[in-house]
Amino acid sequence: MDSELREELARVARPVVPWPEPYRRLLERARRRRRRRAGAGAAALAVVVAAVPLLAGVLDRPGADPATPPGASEFQPAAPVNDPLARRLLDSPTRGNLAGDRALVDRIARGYLAARTELLVDPALDTVRVLLAHDLPNGRTVVVAFLDDTHALLRKAVAAPGASVPELIDRTSTPLDPDPALPYVTTGINMLGVVENATGLAPAGCLAETSVDGRLTDGGTVVRTWQLASRDGLIVRGPEAVRERWRFSCDGVVLYTGPATGIGRELPRPDASAVPADVPAGTDPTIAANAGRELTETLQVNGFAATPPRVVWAGRIPGTADDAPPAVLVAGCWSTGGCAAVLQVGDGRMDQSDVFVPWQTGVGRPDLVTAQIPNDERHILVVASRSATRAELRDTAGRVLASGTLDGGVGRLARPARAVATIAVYGAADRPLTTMPAVLELRSRQFGEPLVWSR
Q: Dump the DSSP string for 431-443.
A: -EEEEEE-----T
- Is the pLDDT score of 45 beyond 70? no
Half-sphere exposure of 389 (CA within 13 A, CB side): 6
Confidence grade of residue 73 (pLDDT, cut at 50, 70, 90): low
Angle between helices 20-37 and 2-12 (to 10 degrees): 140
435: alpha, beta or left? (left if phi > 0; alpha if psi -120 to 50):
beta
Length of the chain: 455
What is the average pLDDT across 229-257? Answer: 89
Tell me the pLDDT tens digit for each residue of 393-449. 999 999 999 999 999 999 999 988 888 889 999 999 999 999 998 865 545 567 888
Which one has a higher pLDDT value, 306 or 67? 306
Percent of the chain with pLDDT over 70: 74
- Is the pLDDT score of 205 beyond 90? yes
Angle between helices 20-37 and 41-51 (to 10 degrees): 150
Residue 85 has phi, psi (to 5 degrees) of -70, -35
Q: How far apart are CA 28 and CA 47, in angstroms?
A: 11
Q: How far apart are CA 104 and CA 112, in angstroms?
A: 12
Residue 215 has phi, psi (to 5 degrees) of -145, 145
Please tell me the least confidently modeled range out of 52-61, 313-322, 359-368, 417-426.
52-61
Which one has a higher pLDDT value, 256 or 8? 256
- pLDDT at residue 354 in the model: 55
- Is the pLDDT score of 43 beyond 70? no
| Cβ–Cβ < 8 Å for 194, 172 | no
Most confident option among 16-30, 98-112, 312-326: 98-112
191: alpha, beta or left? (left if phi > 0; alpha if psi -120 to 50):
alpha
Which one has a higher pLDDT value, 2 or 244? 244
- The domain locations on the chain are 1-68, 71-181, 272-449
Mean pLDDT, the chain, integer: 79
Long-range contacts of 417-420 (CB under 8 A, 24+ apart): 419/395, 420/393, 420/394, 420/395
- Is the pLDDT score of 15 beyond 60? no
- pLDDT at residue 90 in the model: 93
Q: How far apart are CA 92 and CA 135, in angstroms?
A: 19
CA 252 to chain centre: 26
- Asked whether the CA dihedral 282, 285, 288, 292 is positive or negative, the reply is positive
What is the average pLDDT across 207-230? Answer: 94
- Is the pLDDT score of 24 beyond 80? no
The residues that bridge with 157 in the sheet, in sequence order, are: 142, 172
Tell me the pLDDT tens digit for each residue of 131-183. 999 999 888 999 999 999 999 999 999 899 999 999 999 999 877 666 555 67
What is the average pLDDT across 34-56? Answer: 29
b vs e for 172-192, b when ≥16 Cβ sit within 10 Å of the residue's Cβ? bbbbeeebbbbbbbbbbbbbb
C-beta atoms surrounding 235 within 10 Å: 23
- pLDDT at residue 17 in the model: 29
- Is the pLDDT score of 12 beyond 50? no
Q: How far apart are CA 420 and CA 400, in angstroms?
A: 9
